[in-house]
Copies of this chain bind each other. A is one copy, B any other.
Amino acid sequence: MNLDRIDCDILTLLQKDARLSNKELAAAVGLAPSSCLARVQRLRSEGVLRGAHAEVDPQALGVGLQALIAVQLRQHSRAQVKAFWKHALGLPEVLSVFHVAGTHDFQVHVAVRDAHHLRDLALDAFTTRSEVAHIQTSLIFEWAKGQVMPNYRG
């Protein structure tokens, strides 16, 4: 499972644009298409490349507001943590869930229509849960992703 420079280049390029054709990718990393394909297949089978996901404009889908909801549980038992985790990930509004160590137990990134929707979500899907002691909602003004996962092996 050792990655050389070309593997790293492949990973970087595909993180930036997963729709690169194998031909383009091969040219970019300086390999023949067949060799490049073999590497990509190897990276996939090894689980280094885990798949690709299209990015969609939130506004086009009626998402007018995003928020981070910090959640504190009553107890930190494994059962409660797991229950909340599973619940949160099942909600359609939830984009991602962070289980963290600190004053809060979770940070939940949600995408909603508007402020009303956010309030309803907080009240119906968070506050009412028995394992939840306290939540704190922060509106997101802006949100950006870095291009690539840093590589500390290359």
Residues of A participating in the B interface, judged by any CB pair closer than 8 Å:
1, 3, 11, 14-19, 46-58, 60-63, 68, 85, 89, 91-104, 107, 109, 111-113, 136-146, 148-154
Contact = CB atoms under 8 A, between A and B. Distances in A.
Contacts of A99: 140-143
Contact of A55 (B51, B61, B102, B139): B51
B48 A60 contact: yes
Contacts of A151: 61-62
Nearest to A64: B152
Nearest to A54: B14
7 tightest CB-CB pairs across the interface, nearest first? A62-B152, A102-B138, A14-B54, A18-B52, A100-B138, A50-B55, A99-B142
A93 B12 CA distance: 14
A61 B138 contact: no
Contacts of A63: 149-150, 152
A122 to B, nearest CB: 13
Contacts of A141: 99-101
Contact of A113 (B50, B95, B97, B152): B152
A1 B60 contact: yes
B56 A48 contact: yes
Contact of A144 (B11, B16, B89): B89
